[in-house]
Structure 1
Amino acid sequence: MKKYEQLIKRAFAMVLLVCLASTVATAQQTWKADPNHSKITFMITHSGISDILGLFQQFDATISAAQPNFSDAAFTLTINAASINTEVKKRDDHLRSADFFDVEKFPELTFSSTGIEAAGENRYKLSGNLTIHGVTKPVTMDLWYRGTNENPNNNSQTAGFQLTGVIKRSDFGIGPKFPAPMLSDEVRIQADGEFIRQ
C-alpha cells in the first residue's frame, strides 16, 4: 500500500513538474524597442513625379509574446507627432500645423495590434487599430520577423522586425486641402526595429 501511495505521489510530482515547465516555456515575455537601432519612416509622392521621405524621431514600441517565433505577438506603439522630420524645417513646421497633423491638438500617433496571422516562414499579417489626427482606423500590415540573437552590450536577447504597409491620409483627415495630384493619398510605411527582451 505504501509503495502504491509513493508511486502515486511520484507520478503527481512528475505531472506537476511538466505543467510548471510548460507554463514557463509559454510565459509571456516583453520586448522593448531599442531607439538606437529602430526607425519609423514614411514615403509620399509629391506632384506625381518625386517621392519625399520622412521619419518620426521619438517613439516607444513594445511587444508581448510567448512563442519563440512571435506567432502570438501583440504590438503597441506610441509616436510623438511633433518629432516628424523630412529634413526641411519649413515643411516640417507645416506638417505639424493644423493643415496636417495638428500636433498641439493631437500630440500622439498610436497603434495597438488586434491579431496576427501567418503568411509564410517568419512572415505575418499584423492587424490593429491605428490612431492618427484623432481618428482610429483598422489596418493590416506585413510583418517580417528577422530573427533573434544575443546582444553583446547587455547579454540579453534582441529580436529584429520589419513592418511595411500602405495607408491613406484621407482616412485620417491629414492634409485635406492638398489633393492627390499634389500629394499622393497613399502613404507607404516602413518600420525597422530591434527589440530587447526585458
Structure 2
Amino acid sequence: MKTIKYFGMLMLLAIISLNAQTFKASGDSRNQASFESDAPLENIVGVSNSLEAVAMIDINDITNMPKGKVNVDLNSLKTGIDLRDEHLRSANWLNTEKFPYATFMLTGISDASQNKLEDGKRVKATLHGKFSVHGVTKDVDVPAELTYFKENARTRAKMKGNLLKVKASFDINLGDYGIKIPDMVVGKVDDNVKINVTFIATDANAAMGNPCGGCNPCGMHKDGKCNPCGMQKEGKCNPCGMHKSKDNPCGMSKAKCNPCGGLK
C-alpha cells in the first residue's frame, strides 16, 4: 500500500512538472521594485530596477503548486537624493552590507479570479509566500495581477517566448523586520511601507524543473546575474563562499548566499 501511495505521489509530481511553465525575468530595466513611505512630514519613494524573478506556474491552473522567487538588490535603491540613499544602505537602516537583498519566495496562490491564464487576460489573485529583508523572514499574503501573453509577432518585438507579467503590492511594518527609524528622521519616515513590484518574465530558455535549479553559483549560470552574491559578474562562481570543493573554486561560502537556499 505504501508503495502504491508513493508511486501515486511521484506520478502527481510528474504531471505537475509537465503542466508547469518556467518563467524568468532578469536584466531588464523595465522590471521594477519600489517602496513608498508616506510620513506626516515627508513622502519617500525608493526604486530599484535590479530585480530578478523566476516562477514555475501551471497556466491551466495557477493554484496548482506554484513555485517562485523574486530577488531585489537593495544596494541599487534610489530615492532621488544621494545622501539619503547612503543613509538608507547604512548599518542604522537596511544594513545592505550584511543584508544586500530583499526576497520573496512564492509558496502558493489562492483567490484567483480564474485559475486558468488566458492570452492577454488579467487575472487577480493572492500570492502566498515568505518575504525576507534585514535578516528577518515573515509570511505574507500579496494581492497581485497576472497576465499571460502567448508569443506572437507583437510580443516578440518586446521579448522572445511566452510572457508572464506580474504586478504586486503589499505593506510591511519596518519594526517587524528589525528596522528601527532613527530619531533624527522621526516624522519623515513611516513605520508602514508599501512595496510594489512589476516585472515581465519569459519562458524562452528558462530552465525546467525546480525554478531555483539554475541558481547554483557553480553551475551553468555561474556567470549570470543569478549568482547569489551579487549582481557583480566579476565574482567568479560563488564569491560569498563556504562550500569549498572541486565544484566551487571560490570556496568558503555561506549557504545563505545561494538565493535558492543551499547549493542546488
Q: Distance in 2 between matches of 1:193 and 1:24?
A: 24
Correspondence 1:52-67 to 2 at 5 A: 52-67=44-59
Maintained 8 Å contact 1:57/1:85:
no
Q: Which residue of 2 aligns with 1:193?
A: 199
Deviation at 1:169? Answer: 0.8
Q: Distance in 2 between matches of 1:56 and 1:173?
A: 22
Q: Which residue of 2 aligns with 1:142?
A: 143
Q: Which residue of 2 aligns with 1:83?
A: 76
Maintained 8 Å contact 2:41/2:188:
no
Deviation at 1:68? Answer: 3.6
Q: Which has the higher contact order (CA 8 A, sep 6+)?
A: 1
Maintained 8 Å contact 1:26/1:67:
no
Change (3 A) 1:155 1:83: closer
| Greater Cα offset, 187-196 or 114-123 | 114-123
Q: Partner of 1:156: helix, strand, or coil?
A: coil
Deviation at 1:146? Answer: 2.7
Deviations 1:91-139 (A, max 9, x none): 0000000111111111222111122102424111111111111011111
Q: Which residue of 2 aligns with 1:133?
A: 134
Q: Which residue of 1 aligns with 2:178?
A: 173
The percent identity for this pair of structures is 24
> Structure 1 unaligned runs (5+)?
1-18
Correspondence 1:114-125 to 2 at 5 A: 114-121=107-114, 122-125=123-126
TM-score by length of 2: 0.60
Deviation at 1:75? Answer: 2.2
Question: Is 1:38 matched with 2:31?
Answer: yes
Q: Distance in 2 between matches of 1:161 and 1:129?
A: 17
Q: Which residue of 1 aligns with 2:19?
A: 27
Maintained 8 Å contact 2:33/2:197:
yes
Q: In proportion to residue count, which structure has more strand?
A: 1
Q: Partner of 1:90: helix, strand, or coil?
A: helix
User: What count of residue pairs does the alignment treat as equivalent?
Assistant: 177
Deviation at 1:142? Answer: 0.4
Cα RMSD (Å): 2.4
Q: Which residue of 1 aligns with 2:189?
A: 183
Moved over 4 A (4+): 22-26
Q: Which residue of 1 aligns with 2:166?
A: 161
> Structure 2 unaligned runs (5+)?
1-10, 115-122, 207-264
Change (3 A) 1:42 1:177: same
Q: Which residue of 1 aligns with 2:62?
A: 70
Q: Distance in 2 between matches of 1:69 and 1:24?
A: 10
Q: Distance in 1 between matches of 2:134 and 2:146?
A: 29
TM-score by length of 1: 0.79
Q: Partner of 2:95: helix, strand, or coil?
A: coil
